[in-house]
Structure 1
Amino acid sequence: MPATFSYASILHAVGQVLDQIGVKSIAIHEEEDGLFVEGFNSDGQLQVQMRYDVASLYELVNRSEGQEEEHTTTQTTGLLHRFLTDHNRELVGATH
């Protein structure tokens, strides 16, 4: 599997998982075959440990990018509709 992702995209995807869990601090260790991630609560107690091998990181980043594209499309569509409504316009060819 060729390396096609940047550290930024990998850390973004892992960060989304950690945000969903609600951790307050993290430790990430790069290993030969992936990442070992620890998340801690506000008291500094270990809350979660996750090990991602290369295949699971690939899947996680792909899923994250798909969700990001969907979110961006929804956000853009919402902005367009709000603009059209605010200016008493409608999209040509739009059906109600």
Structure 2
Amino acid sequence: MPATISYANILHAVGQVLDQIGAKSIAIREEEDGLFVEGFNSEGQLLVQMHYDIASLYELLKTQEKQPETVSEATAEGILHRFLAQHDRELVGTVF
């Protein structure tokens, strides 16, 4: 099955890489030939700079599609709350 190219899938895959290295803040810039990504620690020091051209983004997406999704809904909720707490934010919902 070919990798689906969308901003959601690309950002999810890149986000997982940043999570693995422990980035606390990020900067992502779209360039003509791909993405330039920077990850910083909690003190604002640069941890990593990555340049993903189109081919490497495609490979990253293909690799991620092969990995089973192991995050349950409860775990995802915990991750969201931890992220919001680390960045001194709160979740605001909308009621329809």
Q: TM-score range by the shorter chain?
A: 0.5 to 0.7
Show the 5 A alignment for 1:9-88: 9-67=9-67, 70-71=68-69
Q: Which runs of 5+ in 1 are unaligned?
A: 76-96
Equivalent pairs counted in the alignment come to: 69
Tell me: higher relative CO, structure 1 or 2? Use CA pairs within 8 A at least 6 residues apart: 2
TM-score with structure 2 length normalisation? Answer: 0.67
Once superposed, what is the RMSD of the aligned Cα atoms? 1.8
Equivalent-residue separation in structure 2 for 1:71 and 1:36 (angstroms): 26
Q: Which has the higher helix share?
A: 1
Greater C-alpha radius of gyration: 1
Q: Could you tell me the percent identity over the aligned residues?
A: 77
Matched residue of 1:71: which SS?
coil
